Amino acid sequence: MKVALFGAGRIGKVHAASIKMDPRSELVAVTDVMQEAAEALAQDHGIEARSADDILADTSIDAILIASSTNTHSDLIEAGAKAGKAIFCEKPIDLSLERALQVSATVANHDKPMMMGFNRRFDPNFSALKAALDAGEIGNSELLSVTSYDPAPPPVSYIKVSGGLYRDMMIHDFDMCSFLFGMPTTVTAHGSCLVDPEIGAAGDIDTAVVVLSYADGRIATIRNSRRAPYGYDQRVEVLGSDGALAADNELENTVVKSTSAGVISAKPVYFFLERYMRAFSIEWSAFVDAVVDGKAVPATIQDGVNALALAEAANRSLAEGRPVEVAPFLSEA
């Protein structure tokens, strides 16, 4: 399977490595609005730096991986579908839910796999928790808690174009809740700015809790912070009628020192590159499975729409200070 990469930034480099790790896929070209970045990545991997139009017109390229800036995603998905390519796209589809719904409708009849990049679904810890939950190992699920704290906030210049914490950061956690519990009926959001006043001045928050309520009475909570000085804090817990499941942090090492002074272990790994590198590789192989072997896509464009709809509902809830129904956001096109 010949693959072209759109985007030669940090996440593009991660995906380039994943493509090269699967023997069934071959990275043959890269494009980026920053020509220097494209040429540097091309040189690293012994491939061509080409224009987007050239890549889309090349019938020998089977698939495109979209890891460019968010504002390009929706147009590239549509262009890739029109060109008959299999498509893998990093989250989100778009910062606009209305535009994402339009894209979803446009590619509804696309006859090649179209997969969204929600890499946390493929983390071995979280996928094992999902398997145990689905197998009924803790009975009926009742409460879900998702914790996601970044070690430090991104630059304010990034915050200003990110779409806000709910669309940019918590969207992964919205997807995790959907992955484990399905879609909720209402969203209640709380948020404030405690980490960096410049984030607040840019119109965003850096500290947030969201409660998702389900039609059957189950409840999920998401906790986000842009600052956890001890490292990248990524945990999931589920309470069920017959027990509980928990996926804890991955640590820098597994050494535990126990003395009369106390018990000390290593910190969590520092950021997503360390924490989720295996997940990115497994995720890509799942996409190759869909393209080469015809298996079902495990993270669909509807999953991308769902996560964005939850983010939009959270923004509305925060602005209006009340619980917000989810269903209207899924029919706003």
**Residues spanned by CATH 3.30.360.10 within the chain?**
121-278+305-329
Indicate whether 122 pLDDT > 80: yes
Residue 332 is predicted with a pLDDT of 60
Distance of alpha carbon 102 from the chain centroid:
20
Tens of pLDDT, residues 158-174:
999 999 999 999 999 99
Indicate whether 290 pLDDT > 60: yes
pTM for the whole structure? 0.95
pLDDT > 70: percent of the chain:
99
In the structure, what pLDDT confidence band is assigned to residue 113 with cuts at 50, 70 and 90? very high
What does residue 167 show for φ and ψ, rounded to 5 degrees? -80, -30
Q: Return the CATH fold of 121-278+305-329.
A: Dihydrodipicolinate Reductase; domain 2 (3.30.360)
CB-neighbour burial class of residue 198 (10 A; exposed 0-12, middle 13-18, buried 19+): middle
**Residues spanned by CATH 3.40.50.720 within the chain?**
2-112
Tens of pLDDT, residues 241-252:
999 999 999 999
Residue with tokens 């589920």: 238
Tell me the CATH number for domain 2-112.
3.40.50.720
What is the β-pairing status of strands 2-6 and 141-149?
unpaired
Tens of pLDDT, residues 70-88:
999 999 999 999 999 999 9
Indicate whether 35 pLDDT > 80: yes
Across the range 114-141, mean pLDDT stands at 98
Is residue 300 within 8 Å of residue 116, measured between CB atoms?
yes
In the structure, what pLDDT confidence band is assigned to residue 273 with cuts at 50, 70 and 90? confident
Residue 333 is predicted with a pLDDT of 45
Indicate whether 102 pLDDT > 70: yes
